[in-house]
Structure 1
């Protein structure tokens, strides 16, 4: 087998069956994502396993790794190809079978294994595959590690070693669920709608919620890799609308929506209103900072400005650090500055001890939300939300932009707003107060209204988010300005959703 991949192979050819296909753009900022068949083939996945095993040896990491796969029609075969490559590179592989991503992270601790490779495309459409990787628990690969792995794989610099061993771990799901439910049961009777979009979480989330004392109404929890109703993505308004309808129909106290690999959680309150995950993060930060005064929280640049201005967080002495979007970025930042928790607008939440182990787990997040309601027995989820200062925010909106062009476009957008700010330009009649360029560009106006443009780290898209503490009209005016500017670039296409 040729160990140097190509990016231009065509299916149903001899070369496709003899040469690894790996498109280099699949190595993203903090995980790997490809369209299976057209951007990576099984030989390419095997080469990825060889490259990852080679990297563990080169970095001096004990060559032992946890591997699991999500519920897609092709994920098991991709995992087997990955395992074959890891074994060829001399690794001991612990195969935990069908799993949510946080179950694989848990297995690193439970089995005392340093590395992880979870085969999942998370919430991406069918056809996508990917791998979330790490070699220093609870952290996962960031840009440096992903770039190093890309170079090893794309240059074919893999080293084959003897000694590979496969160990099957058939009971990891039960060990994981037992660990989450080994706690006092809730005393508050909570009726919960658990929505899983027919993704992997459907096999585990309802059971865990029942074990901690919830009455559970299941919504789209039967595993079906065709995702017949909607993609399992708690940022997708279609999923949130379905969850809201179920909460209203059943009279539930809360709706909890889990993404395709179970590391994110979306929320609908008892009035059937969708709550953006960053607002839920503010609510959780209020709750946790009351228990841990002076706690530090990390939030991503897509998140609400309330983390800085909320009077309750200020009274509790909470410290807030805005950081790069992406589960690996926030996870790593939480560890670096010893933050109690980290929150992303996408619904990735990270809890360090005593709440969690530092990685993102949609079920740990769901339990934290239930505990918040337990500690506020006289208040509903809607009342806790209504206690926050009002802001008007957009959903996360993603116009298509090719992987090869998206970072260049964001750089050009950033320079546009830098020139506008330097020239005392205005948006909606207001001057620009601040530009944050740690991850794309976040433009804040004099009244606190802001808009963000960044490149998606795992899809050929841009990401646009807007919010205003003043009015819905100002939020829409901010988006109109961004949208009008993006229309100048022919590389920017249709949005997945739009206000």
Structure 2
């Protein structure tokens, strides 16, 4: 019988090397994230593999799974621990080796395998590890599956039946690359800076873009799991500023920044302006809805209000559904509504056929952006940006808040804004006209200015985003008002970045 995991074990002890350690808070809303060796050990990852296998049997899923890992110094060893657990549960493992997350999702289709477990900490700082999982392609786990998996693992309710197998799928990266490049090339050699933050995408994204006819200037594309310049995170202003500087230096038409596991893409235009991913989504929605009128889109609650108010989208008959933030939530909503694309402010884009297969792939997103430029040869990326109605928006800002308390803090913030609305109090000097509470709280005032507070799904943080269609002054006023409510809770720490 495999031992029941412990929440904490002291390192460099007999217990640490002979028992599984799994901190419960690592089971997030739609994937798993831990600080390796501090919150989970290798035996804990083996327990996780056993848990995934057990859940597959419970759900009647064929016992075959794709497994891959990202480029971090410890990911391969973690992957093998997970594989040991999967095989002990009687699962047949198809190991595609070093991979992007979307490469693992693609493998479910290409290899006709129902399940996936991708070992990645995505854009998290070094020291973090995690797993993105799914047993119903192209979907990944949501809260219901994660809750059941947590119960199985922490209570050691494992189905240890043995009989699993292991197969290494040699050369699978070439299959993925061939799939993405088996399409028409760009009509002209668009000059692109491809920034990879020394993450996994550096091995694949520049090459794919070049094969499709782009003129590619790689930036930080050499794999280096120490991430010497900045974290590979296209929401991080350090990465965006480095991308901006290179775009201006070489005179590129666009800068594309890929995150650590290649499922997101950030954008800098030809004038060096960093365009937040939700605004890029509006630009793409305009382009796509012109080709496919009456298109259905899905966006997360962090995204700009332009999806509802943009006159071009209205003229094209586009419809947009605002839903919970999180790649699993948006992916499911896109499938449920049959939307052609789902957009997240974080840069996760989910293209359904005929553009994609329903999962998030930063390279597919990059190709959609290049196709948009190709279809608009008389306009630059900056021109397309300026064509949008003007709004002032913030980056995603994340004050520290411990995992154990962050949801409780958000509940307090929601209650505080509800009380303010009930009493007729103003926010940033303006009347509250709407409170959207599908995911945290989005406070909307009468001039359209809004502020969002929610709990991060993958780190011990809160998430704050503000936007105003009125003025930059109103943007700052809303941030000040939202932050004042947060500061009523002393447990909320410092921001990673602010306005």
**Could you state the TM-score of these two structures normalised by the residue count of structure 2?**
0.99
Q: Is the 1:2–1:18 contact (alpha carbons within 8 Å) kept by the matching residues of 2?
A: no
- Report matched runs for 1:45-444 at 5 Å: 45-444=45-444
Measure, in 2, the Cα distance between the counterparts of 1:330 and 1:151.
25
1-structure distance, mates of 2:470, 2:51? 51
TM-aligned CA deviation for residue 2 of structure 1: 4.5
Query: After TM superposition, where is structure 1 displaced by more than 3 Å over at least 4 residues in a row?
Result: none
1:24 aligns with 2:32: no
**Equivalent residue, structure 1, for 2:452:** 452
Q: Deviations over 1:309-357 (max 9, x none)?
A: 0000000000000000000000000000100100000000000000000
Q: 2:488 is paired with a residue of what secondary structure?
A: coil
Deviation at 1:105, TM superposition (A): 0.2
TM-aligned CA deviation for residue 170 of structure 1: 1.4
Give per-residue Cα distances to partners, 1:202-251, cap 9 Å, x unaligned.
00000000011000001000000000000000000000000000000000
In the TM superposition, residue 428 of structure 1 has moved relative to its aligned partner by 2.4
CA contact (8 A) 1:403 1:459 kept: yes
| Distance in 2 (alpha carbons) for counterparts of 1:209 and 1:294 | 30
Quote the Cα distance in structure 2 between the aligned partners of 1:416 and 1:265. 35
Deviations 1:87-116 (A, max 9, x none): 110000000000000000000000000000
Measure, in 1, the Cα distance between the counterparts of 2:5 and 2:92. 25
Unaligned runs of 5+ in 2: none
Task: After superposition, give the CA deviation of every residue in 1:274-329 in whole Å (9 maximum; x if it has no partner).
Answer: 00000000000000000111010000000000000000000000000000000000
What is the alpha-carbon distance in structure 2 between the residues aligned to residue 11 and residue 469 of structure 1? Answer: 52
The question of whether the paired residues in 2 share the 8 Å contact of 1:411 and 1:440 is answered with yes
Offset, 1:487: 1.2
Residue number in structure 1 paired with 2:465: 465
Q: Secondary structure at the match of 1:347?
A: coil
Per-residue CA deviation, residues 129-175 of structure 1 (Å, 9 max, x unaligned), is: 00000000000000000000000000000011132110111111000
Q: Does 2:480 match 1:480?
A: yes
Listed as ranges, the gaps of 5+ residues in structure 1 are none
Range moving further from structure 2, 183-192 or 121-130: 183-192
Give the secondary structure class of the aligned counterpart of 1:403.
Answer: coil
Q: Give me the whole-angstrom Cα distance separating, in 1, the residues matched to 2:302 and 2:118.
A: 26
Preserved contact between residue 196 and residue 258 of structure 1 (Cα < 8 Å): yes
What is the match of residue 492 of structure 1? 492
CA distance in 2, matches of 1:226, 1:362: 22
Distance 1:53 1:8 in 2: 24
Q: 3-state SS of the aligned residue for 1:431?
A: strand
Secondary structure of 2:218's match?
Answer: strand
CA contact (8 A) 1:283 1:385 kept: yes
Q: What secondary structure sits across from 2:404 in the alignment?
A: helix
Residue 430 of structure 1: how far off its partner (Å): 1.1
The number of equivalent residue pairs is 499
Deviation at 1:466, TM superposition (A): 0.1
| Aligned counterparts of 1:17 and 1:123: Cα–Cα separation in 2 | 28
- Whether contact under 8 Å (1:188, 1:377) holds in the other structure is no
Write the distance in 2 (CA, Å) between the matches of 1:121 and 1:428. Answer: 37
SS of 2:178's equivalent in the other structure is: helix
